[in-house]
Chains A and B, each alone.
Chain A
Amino acid sequence: MSLPPGTPVRVKDDWPEARGPVHIRTPHYVRGRRGEVVRHLGDFPNPEDLAFARPAPERALYHVAFRPTDLFPDATGDDLVIEIFEHWLEVGA
Protein backbone atom coordinates (compact mmCIF):
# COMPACT_ATOMS: atom_id res chain seq x y z
CA MET A 1 0.00 0.00 0.00
CA SER A 2 1.77 3.13 -1.14
CA LEU A 3 1.28 6.66 0.18
CA PRO A 4 -0.94 8.78 -2.09
CA PRO A 5 0.28 12.10 -3.53
CA GLY A 6 -0.16 14.95 -1.08
CA THR A 7 0.45 12.84 2.03
CA PRO A 8 2.20 15.00 4.65
CA VAL A 9 5.37 13.30 5.85
CA ARG A 10 8.34 13.96 8.09
CA VAL A 11 11.78 12.59 7.39
CA LYS A 12 13.11 10.70 10.42
CA ASP A 13 15.54 12.68 12.51
CA ASP A 14 17.87 9.69 12.61
CA TRP A 15 21.64 9.66 12.23
CA PRO A 16 22.78 6.07 11.65
CA GLU A 17 26.17 7.48 10.61
CA ALA A 18 26.83 7.97 14.30
CA ARG A 19 26.36 4.25 14.99
CA GLY A 20 28.65 2.66 12.41
CA PRO A 21 29.42 2.21 8.72
CA VAL A 22 26.39 2.96 6.55
CA HIS A 23 25.38 3.83 2.99
CA ILE A 24 22.41 6.18 3.15
CA ARG A 25 20.58 7.98 0.32
CA THR A 26 18.70 10.43 2.58
CA PRO A 27 20.60 13.74 2.61
CA HIS A 28 21.41 15.30 5.99
CA TYR A 29 19.63 18.53 5.16
CA VAL A 30 16.17 16.93 5.12
CA ARG A 31 16.49 14.83 8.27
CA GLY A 32 13.70 15.79 10.67
CA ARG A 33 12.08 18.07 8.07
CA ARG A 34 8.48 18.06 6.87
CA GLY A 35 7.42 17.62 3.27
CA GLU A 36 4.72 16.16 1.09
CA VAL A 37 4.59 13.06 -1.10
CA VAL A 38 4.65 13.95 -4.81
CA ARG A 39 4.32 10.37 -6.03
CA HIS A 40 5.39 6.78 -5.55
CA LEU A 41 8.30 6.14 -7.94
CA GLY A 42 8.38 2.37 -7.57
CA ASP A 43 9.97 -0.21 -5.27
CA PHE A 44 13.73 -0.76 -5.20
CA PRO A 45 16.14 -2.95 -3.25
CA ASN A 46 17.20 -1.05 -0.15
CA PRO A 47 20.58 0.55 -1.00
CA GLU A 48 21.51 0.54 2.68
CA ASP A 49 21.69 -3.27 2.46
CA LEU A 50 22.87 -3.55 -1.15
CA ALA A 51 25.99 -1.54 -0.38
CA PHE A 52 27.08 -4.16 2.15
CA ALA A 53 26.06 -7.18 0.04
CA ARG A 54 23.29 -8.06 2.49
CA PRO A 55 19.91 -9.37 1.34
CA ALA A 56 18.14 -6.20 0.22
CA PRO A 57 14.34 -6.23 0.45
CA GLU A 58 12.50 -3.91 -1.90
CA ARG A 59 11.29 -0.69 -0.36
CA ALA A 60 8.89 1.91 -1.72
CA LEU A 61 10.65 5.00 -3.08
CA TYR A 62 8.85 8.35 -3.10
CA HIS A 63 9.39 11.73 -4.63
CA VAL A 64 8.92 14.07 -1.68
CA ALA A 65 8.60 17.84 -2.06
CA PHE A 66 9.93 20.28 0.53
CA ARG A 67 9.53 24.01 0.89
CA PRO A 68 13.10 25.24 0.37
CA THR A 69 12.83 27.94 3.04
CA ASP A 70 12.00 25.18 5.57
CA LEU A 71 15.47 23.77 4.83
CA PHE A 72 17.56 26.88 4.22
CA PRO A 73 16.43 30.29 5.50
CA ASP A 74 17.90 32.07 2.46
CA ALA A 75 16.74 29.54 -0.16
CA THR A 76 15.89 30.98 -3.58
CA GLY A 77 14.03 28.02 -5.13
CA ASP A 78 10.28 27.46 -4.97
CA ASP A 79 10.27 23.71 -4.57
CA LEU A 80 12.82 21.02 -3.72
CA VAL A 81 12.02 17.45 -4.70
CA ILE A 82 13.99 14.46 -3.40
CA GLU A 83 13.80 10.66 -3.67
CA ILE A 84 13.27 9.18 -0.22
CA PHE A 85 12.65 5.57 0.81
CA GLU A 86 9.58 4.67 2.86
CA HIS A 87 11.53 3.59 5.93
CA TRP A 88 12.79 7.15 6.31
CA LEU A 89 9.29 8.66 6.31
CA GLU A 90 6.88 9.20 9.19
CA VAL A 91 3.36 9.79 7.95
CA GLY A 92 1.36 12.81 9.02
CA ALA A 93 3.89 13.84 11.62
Chain B
Amino acid sequence: MNLVQVDSARLLAIVTDMLAEQGIVSRAEIAERMEITDRASPELGARMVAKAWREPEFRALMVADGSAAAESVGIRMRGLPPLGVLENRPGHHHVVVCTLCSCYPRAVLGYPPFWFKSTAYRARTVRDPRGVLAEWGTALPADTKVTVVDSTADYRWMVLPTRPEGTQDWSEEDLAALVREGDMIGVTVPRGPAISC
Protein backbone atom coordinates (compact mmCIF):
# COMPACT_ATOMS: atom_id res chain seq x y z
CA MET B 1 0.00 0.00 0.00
CA ASN B 2 1.32 3.45 -0.87
CA LEU B 3 0.41 6.87 0.49
CA VAL B 4 -2.29 7.46 -2.11
CA GLN B 5 -4.13 4.31 -1.05
CA VAL B 6 -4.10 5.09 2.68
CA ASP B 7 -7.39 6.19 4.17
CA SER B 8 -6.94 9.98 4.24
CA ALA B 9 -8.66 10.50 7.60
CA ARG B 10 -6.37 7.92 9.19
CA LEU B 11 -3.29 9.44 7.55
CA LEU B 12 -4.28 12.89 8.80
CA ALA B 13 -4.75 11.53 12.33
CA ILE B 14 -1.31 9.90 12.28
CA VAL B 15 0.45 13.01 10.97
CA THR B 16 -1.45 15.20 13.45
CA ASP B 17 -0.42 12.94 16.34
CA MET B 18 3.20 13.04 15.23
CA LEU B 19 3.19 16.84 14.99
CA ALA B 20 1.70 17.06 18.49
CA GLU B 21 4.09 14.46 19.96
CA GLN B 22 7.09 16.34 18.60
CA GLY B 23 5.75 19.63 19.95
CA ILE B 24 5.53 21.19 16.48
CA VAL B 25 1.84 22.05 16.50
CA SER B 26 -1.07 20.91 18.68
CA ARG B 27 -4.46 19.62 17.54
CA ALA B 28 -6.06 22.70 19.08
CA GLU B 29 -3.77 25.03 17.13
CA ILE B 30 -4.57 23.25 13.86
CA ALA B 31 -8.32 23.40 14.56
CA GLU B 32 -8.05 27.09 15.40
CA ARG B 33 -6.15 27.85 12.20
CA MET B 34 -8.65 25.89 10.08
CA GLU B 35 -11.52 27.76 11.64
CA ILE B 36 -9.87 31.16 11.01
CA THR B 37 -9.07 30.24 7.39
CA ASP B 38 -12.60 29.03 6.70
CA ARG B 39 -14.12 32.12 8.29
CA ALA B 40 -12.02 34.66 6.39
CA SER B 41 -13.80 36.28 3.45
CA PRO B 42 -13.60 39.48 1.38
CA GLU B 43 -16.00 41.04 3.88
CA LEU B 44 -13.07 41.44 6.29
CA GLY B 45 -10.99 43.35 3.75
CA ALA B 46 -14.05 45.39 2.74
CA ARG B 47 -14.55 46.47 6.35
CA MET B 48 -10.95 47.67 6.50
CA VAL B 49 -11.37 49.59 3.24
CA ALA B 50 -14.57 51.25 4.47
CA LYS B 51 -12.92 52.21 7.75
CA ALA B 52 -9.92 53.64 5.87
CA TRP B 53 -12.25 55.73 3.70
CA ARG B 54 -13.85 57.27 6.79
CA GLU B 55 -10.91 57.52 9.18
CA PRO B 56 -7.66 59.17 7.98
CA GLU B 57 -5.73 57.77 10.95
CA PHE B 58 -6.76 54.22 10.17
CA ARG B 59 -5.94 54.78 6.50
CA ALA B 60 -2.43 55.94 7.42
CA LEU B 61 -1.93 52.88 9.64
CA MET B 62 -3.28 50.54 6.96
CA VAL B 63 -0.95 51.88 4.26
CA ALA B 64 2.07 51.87 6.61
CA ASP B 65 1.42 48.49 8.23
CA GLY B 66 -1.47 46.40 6.90
CA SER B 67 -0.98 43.66 9.51
CA ALA B 68 -1.22 46.13 12.40
CA ALA B 69 -4.34 47.67 10.85
CA ALA B 70 -5.94 44.22 10.47
CA GLU B 71 -5.05 43.31 14.07
CA SER B 72 -6.58 46.58 15.27
CA VAL B 73 -9.97 45.52 13.89
CA GLY B 74 -9.74 42.05 15.40
CA ILE B 75 -8.28 40.02 12.51
CA ARG B 76 -5.66 37.59 13.79
CA MET B 77 -2.41 38.08 11.87
CA ARG B 78 0.05 36.41 14.23
CA GLY B 79 2.24 33.90 12.42
CA LEU B 80 0.98 34.99 9.01
CA PRO B 81 2.92 36.75 6.26
CA PRO B 82 2.85 40.55 6.55
CA LEU B 83 -0.02 42.30 4.81
CA GLY B 84 1.00 45.06 2.41
CA VAL B 85 -1.59 47.60 1.31
CA LEU B 86 -1.39 49.29 -2.10
CA GLU B 87 -3.10 52.66 -2.01
CA ASN B 88 -4.98 53.62 -5.15
CA ARG B 89 -5.34 57.34 -5.75
CA PRO B 90 -6.94 59.31 -8.54
CA GLY B 91 -4.43 58.84 -11.35
CA HIS B 92 -2.73 55.75 -9.87
CA HIS B 93 -4.16 52.23 -9.96
CA HIS B 94 -2.69 48.96 -8.63
CA VAL B 95 -3.46 45.40 -9.66
CA VAL B 96 -2.11 42.32 -7.86
CA VAL B 97 -1.03 39.04 -9.43
CA CYS B 98 1.11 36.11 -8.28
CA THR B 99 2.88 34.82 -11.37
CA LEU B 100 4.63 32.02 -9.46
CA CYS B 101 1.59 30.49 -7.76
CA SER B 102 -1.37 32.04 -5.95
CA CYS B 103 -0.03 34.12 -3.02
CA TYR B 104 -3.08 35.88 -1.62
CA PRO B 105 -3.95 37.79 1.57
CA ARG B 106 -6.23 35.02 2.85
CA ALA B 107 -6.52 36.49 6.35
CA VAL B 108 -8.42 39.48 4.97
CA LEU B 109 -9.82 38.22 1.65
CA GLY B 110 -10.38 34.50 2.27
CA TYR B 111 -9.60 31.87 -0.34
CA PRO B 112 -8.35 33.22 -3.70
CA PRO B 113 -10.92 33.17 -6.51
CA PHE B 114 -10.33 30.44 -9.12
CA TRP B 115 -9.31 32.86 -11.85
CA PHE B 116 -6.58 34.39 -9.67
CA LYS B 117 -4.82 31.00 -9.83
CA SER B 118 -5.30 30.54 -13.58
CA THR B 119 -2.24 30.60 -15.80
CA ALA B 120 -4.05 33.02 -18.14
CA TYR B 121 -4.58 35.65 -15.43
CA ARG B 122 -1.03 35.21 -14.14
CA ALA B 123 0.67 35.38 -17.52
CA ARG B 124 -1.46 38.16 -18.98
CA THR B 125 -1.66 40.56 -16.04
CA VAL B 126 2.07 41.26 -15.88
CA ARG B 127 2.20 41.80 -19.62
CA ASP B 128 -1.13 43.39 -20.54
CA PRO B 129 -2.78 44.75 -17.41
CA ARG B 130 -4.86 47.28 -19.34
CA GLY B 131 -6.21 44.53 -21.55
CA VAL B 132 -7.11 42.38 -18.53
CA LEU B 133 -8.77 45.33 -16.78
CA ALA B 134 -10.77 46.13 -19.93
CA GLU B 135 -12.10 42.56 -19.98
CA TRP B 136 -13.28 43.06 -16.41
CA GLY B 137 -15.13 46.15 -17.62
CA THR B 138 -12.75 48.41 -15.73
CA ALA B 139 -12.28 51.59 -17.68
CA LEU B 140 -9.52 53.81 -16.29
CA PRO B 141 -8.68 57.24 -17.68
CA ALA B 142 -5.88 56.89 -20.26
CA ASP B 143 -3.49 58.96 -18.13
CA THR B 144 -3.99 56.83 -15.00
CA LYS B 145 -0.74 55.11 -14.04
CA VAL B 146 -1.17 51.33 -13.82
CA THR B 147 1.18 49.55 -11.42
CA VAL B 148 1.22 45.75 -11.51
CA VAL B 149 2.36 44.13 -8.27
CA ASP B 150 3.66 40.60 -8.74
CA SER B 151 3.38 38.97 -5.32
CA THR B 152 6.43 36.73 -5.36
CA ALA B 153 7.68 36.26 -1.83
CA ASP B 154 6.89 36.92 1.82
CA TYR B 155 4.29 39.70 1.64
CA ARG B 156 0.62 39.36 0.82
CA TRP B 157 -0.86 42.36 -1.00
CA MET B 158 -4.29 43.95 -1.11
CA VAL B 159 -5.44 47.08 -2.88
CA LEU B 160 -7.05 49.97 -1.04
CA PRO B 161 -9.39 51.29 -3.74
CA THR B 162 -10.46 54.89 -4.16
CA ARG B 163 -13.76 55.87 -2.58
CA PRO B 164 -16.56 56.27 -5.10
CA GLU B 165 -18.20 59.64 -5.63
CA GLY B 166 -21.50 60.28 -3.94
CA THR B 167 -20.76 58.35 -0.73
CA GLN B 168 -19.79 61.27 1.55
CA ASP B 169 -22.31 60.62 4.30
CA TRP B 170 -22.33 56.84 4.13
CA SER B 171 -21.89 54.63 7.17
CA GLU B 172 -18.98 52.20 7.40
CA GLU B 173 -21.41 49.33 6.92
CA ASP B 174 -22.90 50.78 3.74
CA LEU B 175 -19.45 51.61 2.36
CA ALA B 176 -18.18 48.10 3.11
CA ALA B 177 -21.09 46.65 1.15
CA LEU B 178 -19.82 48.47 -1.96
CA VAL B 179 -16.39 46.85 -1.86
CA ARG B 180 -15.98 43.62 -3.81
CA GLU B 181 -13.22 41.04 -3.87
CA GLY B 182 -11.99 42.22 -7.29
CA ASP B 183 -11.71 45.81 -6.05
CA MET B 184 -9.16 44.66 -3.46
CA ILE B 185 -7.19 42.67 -6.07
CA GLY B 186 -7.39 45.63 -8.44
CA VAL B 187 -9.17 44.07 -11.42
CA THR B 188 -12.23 46.20 -10.71
CA VAL B 189 -12.98 49.47 -8.94
CA PRO B 190 -15.85 50.02 -6.51
CA ARG B 191 -18.98 51.20 -8.19
CA GLY B 192 -20.63 54.26 -6.67
CA PRO B 193 -24.33 54.49 -5.93
CA ALA B 194 -26.61 54.38 -8.92
CA ILE B 195 -27.95 57.80 -9.75
CA SER B 196 -31.73 57.64 -9.59
CA CYS B 197 -33.99 60.28 -10.99
Contact = CB atoms under 8 A, between A and B. Distances in A.
Tell me, yes or no, whether A binds B. yes
Interface of A: 25-27, 29, 41-42, 44, 47, 61, 68, 71-72, 74-85
A71 to B, nearest CB: 8
A78 B95 CA distance: 12
Given A47-B153, A61-B154, 9 more contacts: A27-B100, A41-B84, A44-B154, A76-B131, A77-B148, A79-B146, A80-B126, A80-B148, A84-B153
Given A27-B100, A29-B126, A77 B150 contact: no
A83 B153 contact: yes
B100 A78 contact: no
A42 B154 contact: yes
> A41, A72, A75, A81: which has the most chain B beta carbons within 10 Å?
A81
Contact of B127 (A41, A42, A74, A85): A74
Contacts of B112: none
Interface of B: 82, 84, 99-100, 126-131, 145-155
B130 A85 contact: no
24 contacts: A25-B153, A26-B152, A27-B152, A41-B84, A41-B154, A42-B82, A44-B153, A61-B155, A68-B126, A72-B127, A75-B127, A76-B128, A77-B128, A77-B129, A77-B146, A77-B147, A79-B145, A79-B148, A81-B147, A81-B148, A82-B150, A83-B152, A83-B153, A84-B152
A67 to B, nearest CB: 12
B150 A27 contact: yes
Contacts of B127: 68, 71-72, 74-76
A35 B84 CA distance: 21
Contacts of A77: 126, 128-130, 146-148
Given A29-B126, A75-B127, A77-B129, A85 B153 contact: yes
Most interface-central of A26, A29, A78 (chain B CB within 10 A): A78
A74 B152 contact: no
Contacts of A82: 149-150, 152
B128 to A, nearest CB: 5
Contacts of A76: 127-131, 146
Contacts of A68: 126-127, 148
Contacts of B99: 27, 29
A27 to B, nearest CB: 5
Nearest to B134: A76
Contacts of B155: 41, 61, 83
Given A75-B128, A83-B152, A25 B147 contact: no
A76 B127 CA distance: 7
A83 B147 CA distance: 14
